[in-house]
Amino acid sequence: MKYTTLPNTDIKVSKICLGTMTWGNQNTQEEGFSQMDYAFEKGVNFFDTAELYPVPANAETYADTERIIGNWFKKTGNRDKIILATKICGPGAYTAHVRTTGFSTEALKEALDNSLKRLQTDYIDLYQLHWPERQANFFGQRDYMHNPNDTWEDNFNEILHTLQGFIEAGKIREIGISNEKAWGTMRYLEESKTNNLPRIRTIQNPYSLLNRTFEGDLAELSIRENVGLLAYSPLASGSLSGKYISGKLPKNSRFDLFPRFAGRYNSPQALEATERYFELAKDYGLSLTQMSLAFINQQPFVTGNIIGATTLKQLEENIGSIDVHLSDELITQINAIHNAIPNPAP
């Protein structure tokens, strides 16, 4: 395994981060335990979860993923060996079964305290805001479109003050954001610098060969401000594993079980780009999975590559990508496909 640190801290994390959002839905607790056991054995010390998980989110399975992780900690006694990240979900119709109060002080306190109980721990290493309260994050939409009817009011300072209280109480160590834009990220940094408030260490956004939108303003921001990317959906919900190539739809795969997740990855452009990357990987004796994950592992702004799997075989290949190095020649050919078909699955 290769390791780095959360930016501007001495917290050592594996470059491969174990994603968990299928546990409690596509995966049982026993399967989740097996994945954590295997990842830990291979040197992965960084786990990412969220109160919202498993996905698809609903009231019946709400926060079951955190419960599974908490039970594993209790069984193994490995809490002090894991850098644990979780998130409070933002407001919206998709999360109305959780709460409708956004990131108010009361909501943050409720969410954190409940996560601590479910995870059977007294602290979180990295506590993240799952997406903005303002209307700025839209899955499947490439660019920002302003809604003049958005009623959100600037509360960055209030949020950071609340999180500072949690840090002082020893409940969290560091903070991060997720599904954010450049403006929101800079506002957090501005508030922390101007008012001596906690500084965000990471930003967890989608990043894959089919969605490199992070490489716009956010990549420069990440490098110059030292805010590390935690890349999620590095295999584009499994599309870049190659299992859907040529119209295949494996039984019990994500797109088979949840067809609504397939839309953004099934456009003609996304399918063509995936086919081209698949053939390119073959030319270099790699699987599409290996090439896709290795590409992310090598990016200078990436702190962690959040891999997720539903089987141990998939997990083994995903974690093994840390040992794959892509040559400059191969990177050039990857970029040629990207230039021809840029960001087909935002």
CA–CA dist 86, 171 (Å, integer): 12
- The domain that holds 61 is classified in CATH as 3.20.20.100
HEC profile of the chain = CCEEECCCCCCEEECEEEECCCECCCECHHHHHHHHHHHHHCCCCEEECCCCCCCCCCCCCCCHHHHHHHHHHHHHCCHHHCEEEEEECCCCHHHCCCCCCCCCHHHHHHHHHHHHHHHCCCCEEEEEECCCCCCCCCCCCCCCCCCCCCCCCCCHHHHHHHHHHHHHCCCEEEEEEECCCHHHHHHHHHHHHHHCCCCEEEEEEECECCECHHHCHHHHHHHHHCCEEEEECCCCCCHHHCCCHHHCCCCCCHHHHCHHHCHHHCCHHHHHHHHHHHHHHHHCCCCHHHHHHHHHHCCCCEEEEEECCCCHHHHHHHHHHHHCCCCHHHHHHHHHHHHHCCCCCC
What is the four-CA torsion angle of 150, 262, 229, 158, rounded to 10 degrees? 30
Q: What tokens were used for 142?
A: 């490439």
Specify whether the CB–CB gap between 278 and 314 falls below 8 A.
no
Per-residue pLDDT reduced to its tens digit, 152-173: 999 999 999 999 999 999 999 9
Q: Which residues of the chain have pLDDT under 50?
A: none
Nearest Cα residue to 44 out of 68, 74, 20: 20
Inside any domain, residue 21: yes
What is the per-residue pLDDT for 262? 65
What is the per-residue pLDDT for 215? 97
Per-residue pLDDT reduced to its tens digit, 54-87: 999 999 999 999 999 999 999 999 999 999 999 9
Inside any domain, residue 339: no
Per-residue pLDDT reduced to its tens digit, 253-299: 777 667 766 667 888 999 999 999 999 999 999 999 999 999 999 99
| Total of domains in the chain | 1
Dihedral sign computed on CA atoms, order 137, 123, 228, 299 = negative
Contacts of 11 (CB under 8 A, 6+ apart): 5, 83, 125, 173, 174
Q: What is the residue range of 165's domain?
A: 3-242+299-324
CA–CA dist 169, 51 (Å, integer): 21
Inside any domain, residue 15: yes
Inside any domain, residue 331: no
Inside any domain, residue 102: yes
What is the per-residue pLDDT for 147? 87
What is the per-residue pLDDT for 266? 84
Inside any domain, residue 249: no
265 an active-site residue? no
Q: What tokens were used for 251?
A: 């039984």
Q: What tokens were used for 217?
A: 């303003």
* Candidate list 3, 53, 94, 127, residue with the active-site label: 53
What is the per-residue pLDDT for 260? 65
Inside any domain, residue 175: yes
Nearest Cα residue to 230 out of 155, 340, 308: 308
Inside any domain, residue 131: yes
